[in-house]
Amino acid sequence: NAGVTQTPKFQVLKTGQSMTLQCAQDMNHEYMSWYRQDPGMGLRLIHYSVGAGITDQGEVPNGYNVSRSTTEDFPLRLLSAAPSQTSVYFCASSSTTGRNQPQHFGDGTRLSIL
Amino acid sequence: AQSVTQLGSHVSVSEGALVLLRCNYSSSVPPYLFWYVQYPNQGLQLLLKYTSAATLVKGINGFEAEFKKSETSFHLTKPSAHMSDAAEYFCAVNRGSQGNLIFGKGTKLSVKP
């Protein structure tokens, strides 16, 4: 009963490096999203997808790319890491795109940019 | 536009005391509201959700919340706090036609023995 799986759990990068945060769900959910969590800021939406091949920007998309080639996977790419991207990143999914659907969250990736 | 305000970034109660975590929302459409809990180093877990079926919503672990349209509030309560309730709690409102959520800044609950 895996649910939403995020890898890696921890990562340290140097400024300017690139990396991909992985997210996979095994619930056949249409909707997937990425949030970042910063102290005192709650969670803010980065990008989301309503189905394979369809992605859109959220509240704070700058510096991040996403793609959705399969229903199960929704990776988040940092093209050139900056210290301002130090954060905890959460992937979430829900069964449909309906407004009343709760989202299921992964355990997060803790990312530090030096 | 939708928004959520959680009053109090930290709340401390004694074990056995009433827990009250406040959430006020702003929404241009009938809102769908959620409470999530986050334990240390974990993801967010759904406590309960309001989807217009009933104004008093019961959730997991003995928590409940009441939707009050006149006060634009969705406060979370639990009659008797337990040590295991210590966590951070987030109120969220659905952003629009899709599943995106707008979160409050969170309230960290401490429970004293």
Which residues of chain A have a CB within 8 Å of the CB of B45?
A: 105
Residues B77, B20: contact at Cβ < 8 Å? yes
Q: d(Cα A109, Cα B1) in Å, to the nearest integer? A: 30
The pair of structure tokens assigned to B53 is 């079926």
Direct distance between the N- and C-terminal alpha carbons of chain A, in angstroms, rounded to an integer: 35
Mean pLDDT of B96-102: 74
Cβ–Cβ below 8 Å for A45 and B95? yes
Chain B residue numbers touching A94 (CB-CB < 8 A): 99
Interface of A with B in 24-43 (CB under 8 A): 31, 33, 35, 40-43
Indicate the pairing of strand B33-38 with strand B44-50: antiparallel
Phi, psi angle pair for A52, to nearest 5°: -55, 130
Q: Answer yes or no: do A100 and B32 touch at CB < 8 A.
A: yes
Would you call B9 and A96 a contact, using CB atoms and an 8 Å cutoff? no
Rg over alpha carbons for chain A, rounded to the nearest Å, is 13
Task: Report the residue from A44, A50, A107 with minimal CB separation from B43.
Answer: A107
Nearest to B37 by CA among B46, B28, B29: B46
- The pLDDT of residue A97: 65
Residues of B with CB under 8 A from a CB of A: 9, 32, 34, 36, 41-46, 49, 51, 90, 94-106
**Contact between chains at A90 and B44 (C-beta distance less than 8 A):** yes
3-state secondary structure of B27: coil
More confident residue, B52 or A77: A77
- Helix ranges (H only) for A49-114 are none
pLDDT at A9 over 90: yes
Closest by CA to A91, choosing from A77, A80, A75, is: A75
A43-80 per-position pLDDT tens digit: 999 999 999 999 999 999 999 999 999 999 999 999 99
Q: Is A111 helix (H, G, I), strand (E, B) or coil?
A: strand
As a whole number of angstroms, the distance between CA B37 and CA B16 comes to 19
Give the position of tokens 């140097």. A14
Res. A2 pLDDT band, cuts 50 70 90: confident
Q: How far is CA B7 from the centre of its chain?
A: 11
- Of the candidates A42, A50, A58, which has its C-beta nearest B106's C-beta? A42
